Structure formats: C-alpha cells, structure tokens
Amino acid sequence: MRTWLAILCNIAVPGSGLILLQKEWLGVTLSLLFGLAATAGLWAVFITPASVPGWLAGASLTAAAVCWMGGQYVLRSRLRTFGDPAIAREVRALREQATQRAAWGDYEEAGNLLSVALALDDEDLETNVQLAELLTLLGRFEPARRAWLRVGRLDRRGAYRRHVAEALDQLPAR
C-alpha cells in the first residue's frame, strides 16, 4: 500500500513519494525545484507570454521536466532496494557487529557500523533503536533525543512506545 501511494504521489509531484519513503530532504528539494520551475514556466506561457522571453519559458519548463524525470528515476531506485532481502540480511549483520563492538567498548566503530546500516535502510527500526541507545550511552543527548523521536515515528506498531518514553524522560533537559 505504501509503495503504491509513494508512486502515485511521485507521479503528481516528483519527490513527494520519496518523502513517504523517509528520504525527506531529497524529496522536499525535488518537489520545490519542480514546483518553482513549473510555476515559472506556466506563468511565462499562459499569464504573461508577451513580457517573458520564449527561451526563459522553455528553460523553465525543461527544468520542470528534468525534475519530474529525475524524481521518477530516484523513486524507482529507492523502491528497487526497499524490500530487498539481501539488504535486510546485511543490515542485521551490521547491527550484530555493532553490538559486538559496543560490548568490547569500541563505541566509535559501533557507531560507524550503525551509520552504514542506516545508509542501507534508514527505516530499520531495530537499527534506529540501537543507535539511539548508543548515543544515550555516550552522553550525546541532543542527537540521542532526535534518534529517540525518530524511533517513535518509525514504530508504527508501538512495540517501543514505552521504551522511547522512558528514554526521553531520562535524557537531561535541553
């Protein structure tokens, strides 16, 4: 369902489907660029055709078309890896390695491994929980707060609701 909604939204406004797939910055940037270029081009063609040079109207509409095609390409790339079981196995292996490194006291390498896992799948709930716990353990309270809030957003079933609330309560005030 979420995949189809992302596709439909992305067809209407490129980048909006990426926002649904947790690629917020890229999605918002593509959406804004498309909106600005399309608005400028349509304005130049339909509202003030005599006062805007034809090359400027063409350039704006071409930029909008490029943004639209780019948005479809990026969404397709994202969807290709979205449900890949090989990526899920790799993320699990990276999480296990991070747990082992943290147990040995090598927190920096554990954080690096979790960063790689999140680069592969930034919506993996377990990886986000592990990162939030690591940041809390290291005393990096502002990034930990953001990580816990992200866990709360990603936890659609509510499995970590109590854990997130307790962690946020225990973090020092800003």
Whether residue 22 has pLDDT greater than 80:
no
Stretch 35-47: mean pLDDT: 96
Query: How far apart are the C-alpha atoms of 121 and 165, rounded to whole Å?
Result: 24
Stretch 43-62: mean pLDDT: 95
Q: Confirm if 95 and 130 have CB atoms less than 8 A apart.
A: yes
Kind and range of the H or E run holding 68: helix 54-82
Whether residue 162 has pLDDT greater than 70:
yes
pTM: 0.66
pLDDT for 3 equals 82
pLDDT for 77 equals 86
- 113/122: higher pLDDT: 113
Instruction: Tell me what the pLDDT averaged over the chain comes to.
Output: 92
pLDDT band at 117 (very low <50, low <70, confident <90, very high): very high
For the ranges 45-49, 93-97, 119-123, 127-131, the lowest mean pLDDT is seen at 119-123
Tokens 């400027």 belong to residue: 56
Query: Domains in the chain and their CATH numbers?
Result: 2-82 (no CATH), 85-170 (1.25.40.10)
Whether residue 174 has pLDDT greater than 70:
no
pLDDT for 2 equals 72
Query: How far apart are the C-alpha atoms of 115 and 135, rounded to whole Å?
Result: 12
Query: How far apart are the C-alpha atoms of 59 and 23, rounded to whole Å?
Result: 27
Whether residue 125 has pLDDT greater than 90:
yes
